[in-house]
Amino acid sequence: MIKIGNIELPEFPLLLAPMEDVSDPPFRRLCKMHGADLMYSEFISSEGLIRDAIKSRKKLDIFDYERPVGIQIFGGDEEAMAMSARIVETVNPDLVDINFGCPVKKVVCKGAGAGVLKDIDLMVRLTKAVVSSTHLPVTVKTRLGWDSTSINIDEVAERLQETGIKALTIHARTRAQMYKGEADWEHISRIKQNPNIEIPIFGNGDIDSAEKALEYKQKYACDGIMIGRAAIGYPWIFNEIKHFFKTGEHLPEPTISDRLLAVRQHAEWSAEWKGERLGLVEMRQHYSNYFRGIPHFKEFRKKFLEVFTLEEMNSLIKETQQFYEEYQAQL
C-alpha cells in the first residue's frame, strides 16, 4: 500500500495528471468511474487565487465522489504560494500539489512552473512556504531539468524531500522537450534506487497502453504511474491497465455504445457544473478524442460541434447509435 501522508492508495496507484482545460470535475468524475486512484485539479495560479479571480476560484471545486483528490497550485513568489495554500485548505482537498513542471511560456515567463527548474534554491523556498502553511500533505510534480545539459532531478528529489513533501511525480522530460521526444524514465529509476529517498516516486510520460504501463512498472520500479494525454477521450485506460496487471489479458475495447455513454455523461456533468450552453461548448474539444479511429465519425463530428442543449445532445447520441448499429449489421 502506498501512503501520502494519511492518504492510503493501492499498491501501485494510477494517477490522473492535472491538465489545463481538461482535468475539471466532469472529466475527473469520468476517470474516477473508470479506475483512476488519485486525481488533481487543473493547475491554479497562486496570484489568481489571491486576487479572487473567478476562473481560479472555480478550479477549487471538488466533490466527495472523486476523493482522494488534490488541488495543484503554481507560482514564483513565496508569500503568494503560502497564502494560496491556506486558501486551498479551506475547501478541504486531500492534498496540495505544487506544479514545477508546466513548460508553457506564459507560465515559465512568470518564473513559475518549469521556470523554477533553473533555480533549485527558489524551488526549495517555495515548497517550504507551502508545507509550512498547511496541515495537508504536500506533493510536487516536476521535470528532469530545464534542458539536457542541466538535468538536476537527483538534487531536486533529495532537497524537496527534506522540505517535508510526501510524494514526488516526475515527468521524465526536460522543459526544453515540452511534450516532444521520448520520456527518459532511467532518471526515475535512478531516483528510486537512491537509498536516501523514502517518499513515493510516481512516473509520468508516454504511458499510453496497458503493455507499456506494465513494462515501465517492472523496468523502472516506480511507486505508481501518472497518466495524462492518453486519458483524454479514453478514461477506460485506467481499468484496462489494472486488468492487464492482474490477468495479462486485455479488456474488450470500448464499443460505440460505451463511447456514446461516456460522451453523454461527460456532457451532462459539464452542463451541470458550467451551465448548459458553456458546458456543451467546452465539450467540443473532446469529441474527436472519444471517437478517434472510429470509421465515418467525421460525418457526425460537425453535428456534435453544433449542439447547444442537452436535448439536442441526447437526440444526436440516439442518431449516432442507430447509425453505427446499422453499420455493424452490414459488416
Q: How many CB atoms lie within 10 A of CB 35?
A: 17
Q: Is the peptide bond prior to 68 cis by the omega test (within 30 degrees of 0)?
A: yes
102-150: pLDDT as tens digits: 777 778 877 788 788 889 999 999 999 999 999 999 999 999 988 888 8
Q: Can you tell me which residue has the cell 453505427?
A: 324
DSSP state, residue 278: H
Active site residue 222: no
Residues 205-253 have pLDDT tens digits of 999 999 999 999 999 999 999 999 999 999 999 999 999 999 999 999 9
What's the mean pLDDT in 195-210?
96
| Under 8 Å between Cβ of 13 and 38 | yes
As a whole number, mean pLDDT of residues 83-112 equals 88
Tens digit of each residue's pLDDT (9 = 90 or more) over 62-80: 999 999 999 999 999 999 9
Q: Does residue 234 contact residue 207 with C-beta atoms inside 8 Å? A: no
Q: Where are the strands (E) in 76-120, listed by range?
A: 95-100
Query: Beta strands 69-74 and 38-40: pairing type?
Result: parallel
Q: Is residue 178 very low, low, confident or very high in pLDDT (cuts 50, 70, 90)?
A: confident
From 31, 102, 109, 222, the catalytic residue: 102
> Given a cut of 90, is residue 54 above it in pLDDT?
no
Q: Which three cell numbers stand for residue 136?
A: 495537508
The three grid cell numbers given for residue 47, joined into one nine-digit string: 496570484
Burial of 211 (0-12, 13-18, 19+ CB in 10 A): exposed
pTM of the model: 0.93
Q: Which of 10-14, 52-56, 170-174, 322-326 has the lowest mean pLDDT?
A: 52-56
Give me 94's grid cell.
486531500
Q: How far apart are CA 289 and CA 262, in angstroms?
A: 12
